[in-house]
Structure 1
Amino acid sequence: MGGTMNPTVIGWLPGEPLLPAVTDALAQATLVFGAKGFAPLAERFAPNAHFEPFEAWLAQLPERCARAIVQGERVVVATTGDPLFHGAAAALLAHFGPDAVTVLPERSSVQLACARLGIPWHNATLVSAHGKVREPWSWKNAPHHPLRPVLVAAAHNRSPIVALTAPGAGATEIASALTELSLAHRYRISVAARIGLDGEALWRDLEPSQAAATAFPHPHIAILTSTTPGTEAAFGWDDDAYAQRQPEKGLITKREVRAVALALLALTPHDTVWDIGAGSGSVGLEAARLTPEGAVWAFEKNADDVAIALTNARRFHAANWTIRHTKAPAGLEEAPDPNAVFIGGSGGELAELLTYCWQRIAPGGRLIATFVTLENLATATAAMTALDAPWHATQLWAARTKPILAMHRFAAENPVWLVAATKEPS
């Protein structure tokens, strides 16, 4: 082992012989932490050690290791495959430092799955769907569901996507969610199940409809390969690409305004965004494309518009976007603190809404609100001044060409004012 004060993290593959360094570490161990399935391994190779399963308290593993080491234990943490790939070693390295943890990896399950299925993975997007699954993926839980990383990768046209799965977040559930996101036609799904264990099985190039109807044994790796590349731009989609309320077509933040608003929001990939008064969902859905590691929470008081926004979310594969039918600020308490807030409609509660959002927005966060009436512009600037928020305003008055006989003219859109403020960093 790396020394009495160093925890050792080992990798093991079912059905494979242990590496000599791993057997040495186990032979010297007095305490072994690992999943319940590692008990026979510890009993055979760590005769002087007490074995303790860690499933019930895995998040406390670094602290448990530290206490055991102080008490003189020689600690080994047993994991499957490579402990540095979505494994226990990451938390231990963060806690103890790289010089105080010995990592003895095995081949990863990803390597073996790709080898079994004959899929090169040098350019793969590697994701994990591990996590506590309380309910199937839906638009309501999209930002925090364990399937989110898999589905966001698919929405961004990644291929191949190699996913570590878990019960309730496996290939079956991935396939069902791809269908809901209008992505089923783009992907085929291959599965390598129970690698190295009794009942090992492989499935190749299933259509998502086939995968959704198949019960795959766990543990398994799901690999998504693209058959049809996506062509969506990151943002700036044509107004006509969106479903809009009829017969009042046009109740949408226009393309030019969306582009400026998104620029002012200055989004980063990990941002949490609020889209208040979402309407057809256009700003929030384009924000979702720009925040693949973050999430967008949309809020809309009109039930018909909520339904339209959901139609657009399916159309644009918004796997990290959710919407609530509510009149803000009611309902905002459910969402995590935002890094960026876009207000496209206030339902008559503008000053209260701006105050609440400014209180909740993270340090360094950006708030953008759009207006078409002077009265709301005046209310907004007064509210932001009262909050001592460093605001500025932009007037946007776009015009688009339209045919007139054999020629073209410019037809002006309604002027829009954008009020923007950035909260001081902490």
Structure 2
Amino acid sequence: MLWPYNTPGIPDNLFEQLPGIPLSKREVRLLLISSLRMKPDSVLWDIGAGTGTIPVEIGLLCPQGKIIAVERDEEVANLIKRNCNLFDVNNIQVIEGSAPDCLQKLAPLPDRICLEGGKPIKDIILQAWEYLQPGGRIVATASNLESLYTISEGLAQLQARNIEVVQSAVNRLETRGIHQVFAAVNPMFILSGEKL
């Protein structure tokens, strides 16, 4: 078994990757997963799933849950499937489609939604919210000020409750030449809110 542990935090290098395809860094994934507050049988929609790191980690943590990973590009959707196979995760369904248009076809309805990108992000948030079960949580990431503002504006418009915003500031030890130095991982904002 590639990851025999009951904790999240799979090292980035264990995932199959493609050049130019985003991968949520391990430390950011830990924050994001804690923000989702998964239940053992939760239904998660991961919209803009990229490499599939979040679906794989959640699939391992919540084997009775169901994860729907949405990705618009066929090659990237196939990458997610390969990563699911690599970690022997069987409770993930990969959907190739563009949000928000494809959301009406997804089932079952989620009690957790993770947004890791996509444009137009505000439209995706507003549409995804319609499908979120009462008491459910939505978590979105922003890597720039414009996305942070747009997501915040969307959550305010939806009157999301218990909004939280966390910014990651992570440094990793790297070897450069004969020295070991700390290199910053790009900061990420993680926003979350609940639906009454």
Scaled to the shorter chain, the TM-score interval is over 0.9
**1:319 partnered with 2:90:** yes
Check conservation: 2:2, 2:86, Cα contact below 8 A: no
Provide the rounded CA distance (Å) in 1 between the counterparts of 2:9 and 2:2. Answer: 16
2:141 aligned with 1:370: yes
- 2:187 is aligned to 415
The residue identity in structure 2 corresponding to 1:371 is A
Q: Which amino acid aligns with 1:287?
A: I
Which structure has the higher relative contact order (CA within 8 Å, separation 6+)?
2
Match in the other structure for 2:128: 357
Question: CA RMSD of the aligned region, Å?
Answer: 1.5
Q: Which moved more, 1:255-264 or 1:334-343?
A: 334-343
2:11 — aligned with what?
A: 238
Partner of 1:174: none
Letter of the structure 2 residue corresponding to residue 304 of structure 1: E
Q: Where does the alignment leave 5 or more consecutive residues of structure 2 unmatched?
A: none
Q: CA deviation at 1:392?
A: 2.1
1:331 shift after superposition: 2.0
**CA offsets per residue over residues 379-406 of structure 1, 9 Å max, x none?**
1101111111122211112110111343
Asked which structure has the greater CA Rg, the reply is 1
Distance 1:299 1:270, change over 3 A: same
Post-superposition Cα deviations, 1:191-223, rounded to whole Å, max 9, x if no partner, equal xxxxxxxxxxxxxxxxxxxxxxxxxxxxxxxxx
Give me the TM-score of the superposition, normalised by structure 1: 0.44
Deviations 1:142-201 (A, max 9, x none): xxxxxxxxxxxxxxxxxxxxxxxxxxxxxxxxxxxxxxxxxxxxxxxxxxxxxxxxxxxx
- Flag the 1:403–1:231 CA change in 2: closer, same or farther, 3 A: closer
Q: Check if 1:306 corresponds to 2:77.
A: yes
In 1, distance between residues paired with 2:3 and 2:141? Answer: 29
Residue 353 of structure 1: CA displacement?
1.0
Aligned counterparts, 1:76-87, within 5 A: none
Q: 2:171 aligns with which of 399, 406, 409?
A: 399
Unmatched tracts of structure 1, length 5 or more: 1-228
2:113 to 328, 331, 341: 341
Residue in 2 that maps onto 1:389: 160
User: What is the CA–CA distance in structure 2 between the aligned matches of 1:362 and 1:317, rounded to whole Å?
Assistant: 28
Aligned-partner SS, 1:317: coil
**How far 1:231 moved relative to its partner?**
4.9
| Paired residues, number | 193
**Residues of 2 paired with 1:261 and 1:271: CA distance?**
15
Contact preservation (8 Å) 2:3, 2:87: no
